[in-house]
Structure 1
Amino acid sequence: MDAIERTATKYRNLRLNATASRLPELLARADANELSYLHLVEMMADHELEQRTGKRIALNRRKAGFPAEKILEGFDYRHQTTINKRQVNALLDFDFIDQRNNVIFIGPPGVGKTHLAIGIGQKAINAGYKVLFRSALDLVEELELAEMKGELKKKVSQLVKFDLMVIDELGYLPMSRQSRYNLFQLINSFYEYRSLIITTNKDFTHWGEFFHNDNVAVPIIDRIIHHSHIFMLGGESYRLKQKTAQ
C-alpha cells in the first residue's frame, strides 16, 4: 500500500469519504496548479463540504415526498392574470421561512397552485431547508390514523421538525369533526414556529363549508393568515387548455 492509499484509508476512518475517493485527483490538481499547502487543504475541505451538501439535499428531496417534479423555471406566467414572476421570486430569499410566515395560494383548479408550491419547496430544499409535501387528504388520513393509535401528539411533533410544510388542495373535501380537531392541533403547533404553504380552491370566507363549523374555521384561519403572504390566482386552467387543444 503506497502513501496515497494509506492516507485515503485514514480519511475513510475519519468518515471523510468524499475526499478519500478523490484524493489522487485532488493531489494531481494541486500539483498541476502549484497550489500552496494551505490552498490544497482548503480545496480538500471544499470538496468534502460540497459532496456532503449534495447528499443532504438529495436526501431531503426524497423525504419531502413531492408527487411530481415541478420546477419554477417551467411555470408559465403567460396564463396568469394575478401573479407574476417577480412576486414569486421575491419569496426565494426564504425570509418567510426564517420569519415563520405562511404562503397561501388561492384559486380555481388548474391554474398552477400546486406547481408553484412544489417549485418553491424544491428551491427551499436547495437552500438547505427541510420541506414536507402532503395533500390535504393524505394529511387528514395520516393524522386520523395517529389519533386512533393514541399517537397524535407524537405525529405532530414529527411534522413540526420540518422547516416548511406544503398542504395541497385544502378545502376540496369536507372534514369530519375529528379531522378538524386534528388539523387544528397541527396548525396550532406550526403557528409562529414553522412555515406552511397552502393551496386551496376556496377563499377564507367559504372555509366554513368544508370545516362544517365556523367556530372551528375561524381559529384555524386566524393562525394561518397571521403573518402570511396571500396570492389570489386567476387565469385559464392549464389542464383544461391542454385538453381542449388536443
Structure 2
Amino acid sequence: MGTLELTTGRYRSLRLGAIADDLTDLLRQAEANEVSYLMFADMLAEHERASREARRIELNRRQARFPADKRLEAFDYRHQTTITKRQVKALLDFAFLDNRENLVFIGPPGVGKTHLAIGIGQHAVEAGYKVRFKNALDLVEELELAEMKGELKKKLTQLAKVDALVIDELGYLPMSRAARYALFQLINRFYEYRSLIVTTNKDFTQWGEFFHDDNVAVPIIDRIIHHSHLYMLGGESYRLKQKTLS
C-alpha cells in the first residue's frame, strides 16, 4: 500500500471522510500554490468543516419537507401592495428566530403567502436553522391521531425540536373540538420557546368562525401574535395572473 493510500485510510478511520475523499486534489492545490505547512493544515481542516456543514444543511433541507422549491429571489413583488422586498430582506438576519418570535402572513388565496413562508424557510435552513413545513390540515390530523393514541406529548416534543414550524393554510376549513384542543397544545408548546411561520386567509377577527369557539380562538391568537411580525398581503392573485397570461 502506497503512502497516499495509507494516509487516506488514516483520515477515513478518524471519520474525516471529506479529506480522505479529496486528498489528492487538496495536495495538488497545495503544491500548485506553494502553500506553507500551516496553511495546508488549515486547508484540510476547513475542507472537512465546509463539507460537514454542507451535508448538515442538505439533511436539514430534506427534513424540512418543503412541498416545492420556492425561492425569495423568484418572488414577484410587483403584484403586492402591502409588503416590500426591503421588509422581507430585513427578516433574513433571523433575529425573529433567535428571539422566538413568529411570522404571520394573512391574505386571500394566490398572493404569495406560501411562497414567502417557504422562501424564508429555505434561507433559514441555509443559515443553519432547523425548519419543518406542515400543511395545517395534515398537521391537525397528525395531532388528533397522536391524541387518540395517547402520544400527543411525544408528538409535540418531536415538532418542537425545530427552530421554526411553518403552518400553511391555517383556517381554510373549520376544526373539530379535538382538533382545536390539539392545536392549542401545539401553539402553547411553541409559545416563547420556538418560532411559528403561519399563513392564513383569515383575519384574526374571523378566527372564531373556523374554531367554532371564540374561547379557543382568543388564547391561540394571543399566543401567536404576542411576539410576532404580522403582514397583510394584498395585490393580484399570482395564480389568476398566470392563468390570464397563459
TM-score, structure 2 length as denominator?
Answer: 0.99
Summarize the alignment of residues 84-163 of structure 1 with structure 2, pairs less than 5 Å apart: 84-163=84-163
Deviation at 1:173, TM superposition (A): 0.4
- Structure 2 partner of 1:173: 173
2: distance between equivalents of 1:238 and 1:195? 27
Residue deviations 1:148-205 (CA, integer Å, cap 9, x gap): 1110000000000000010000000000001000000000000000000000001111
Deviation at 1:245, TM superposition (A): 2.2
- Structure 1 partner of 2:239: 239
2: distance between equivalents of 1:145 and 1:191? 22
Deviation at 1:145, TM superposition (A): 1.1
Moved over 4 A (4+): none
Counterpart of 1:229 in structure 2: which amino acid? H
2: distance between equivalents of 1:198 and 1:86? 20
1: distance between equivalents of 2:135 and 2:162? 16
Deviation at 1:74, TM superposition (A): 0.3
2: distance between equivalents of 1:5 and 1:76? 52
1: distance between equivalents of 2:31 and 2:245? 60
Summarize the alignment of residues 43-54 of structure 1 with structure 2, pairs less than 5 Å apart: 43-54=43-54
The question of 1:65 aligning with 2:73 is answered no
Counterpart of 1:63 in structure 2: which amino acid? Q
1: distance between equivalents of 2:148 and 2:103? 30
- Structure 2 partner of 1:56: 56
- Structure 2 partner of 1:21: 21
RMSD, aligned CA: 0.6
2: distance between equivalents of 1:95 and 1:69? 24
Counterpart of 1:7 in structure 2: which amino acid? T
Deviation at 1:2, TM superposition (A): 1.1
SS in 1 for 2:60: helix
Deviation at 1:37, TM superposition (A): 1.0
SS in 2 for 1:35: coil
2: distance between equivalents of 1:127 and 1:73? 16
- Identity value in percent: 73
Deviation at 1:25, TM superposition (A): 1.0
Deviation at 1:244, TM superposition (A): 2.1
Unaligned runs of 5+ in 2: none
Residue deviations 1:194-235 (CA, integer Å, cap 9, x gap): 000000001111100000000000000000001100000000
- Structure 1 partner of 2:225: 225
- Structure 2 partner of 1:36: 36
TM-score, structure 1 length as denominator?
Answer: 0.99
2: distance between equivalents of 1:49 and 1:85? 33
- Structure 1 partner of 2:214: 214
Unaligned runs of 5+ in 1: none
The question of 1:204 aligning with 2:204 is answered yes
SS in 2 for 1:22: helix
- Structure 2 partner of 1:5: 5
Counterpart of 2:134 in structure 1: which amino acid? R
- Structure 2 partner of 1:190: 190
2: distance between equivalents of 1:26 and 1:137? 50
SS in 1 for 2:138: helix
Deviation at 1:4, TM superposition (A): 1.2
Q: What is the total number of aligned residue pairs between the two structures?
A: 246
